[in-house]
Amino acid sequence: MSELKKRIQDAAIQAMKSGDKQRLAVIRLMTSSMKQIEVDERIELDDARVTAILDKMVKQRRESIAQFKTAGRDDLVRQESFEIDVIQEFLPPALSEAEIDSIVNQAIKQTGASSIKDMGKVMGLVKPQIIGRADVGEVSGRIKSLLAT
């Protein structure tokens, strides 16, 4: 069993024991997302895959927050923000701007990328290093701007 998956299961037990129903609900959402993939694909998840699932959950909540803000639903914005906070406890620490730049520049050098046509090669190297630690969309935009010049 993946170490990250075990940490999440331990957190669920802890939340049950402490009676923190709101936190437990978020953790159960996480475990059900993982379980769904394991059942559908008949696999045992590793840490990298669990991180990707959690990262996707955070991204979905950020998109929801943007929509809820537009609709003036502050109650739902608070709920989604709370869920993001709980999910992020299990993600690796976020990368700094300098770390992201370093990863991107190294990937560009490694692939010999010189134009926007090489975007896929660069992203192929960068994505596994940043998943769960940086917004893939923002990093993609940064790579595009570097390759466009």
pLDDT tens, per residue, the chain with 149 residues:
789 999 999 999 999 999 999 999 999 999 999 999 999 999 999 998 999 899 999 999 999 999 999 999 999 999 999 999 999 999 989 899 999 999 999 999 999 988 899 999 999 999 999 988 888 888 999 999 888 86
Token pair listed for 103: 């990863």
- The pTM (predicted TM-score) of the whole model is 0.81
Ordered by start, the domain boundaries in the chain are 3-88, 97-148
- Is 1.10.10 the CATH classification of the domain at 97-148? yes
Instruction: State residue 22's pLDDT score.
Output: 97
Instruction: State residue 46's pLDDT score.
Output: 92
- Is 1.10.1510.10 the CATH classification of the domain at 3-88? yes
Residues in the chain: 149
Residue 116 DSSP class: G
Instruction: State residue 57's pLDDT score.
Output: 95
Instruction: State residue 149's pLDDT score.
Output: 67
Q: What angle do CA 12, 34, 73 make, to 5 degrees?
A: 75
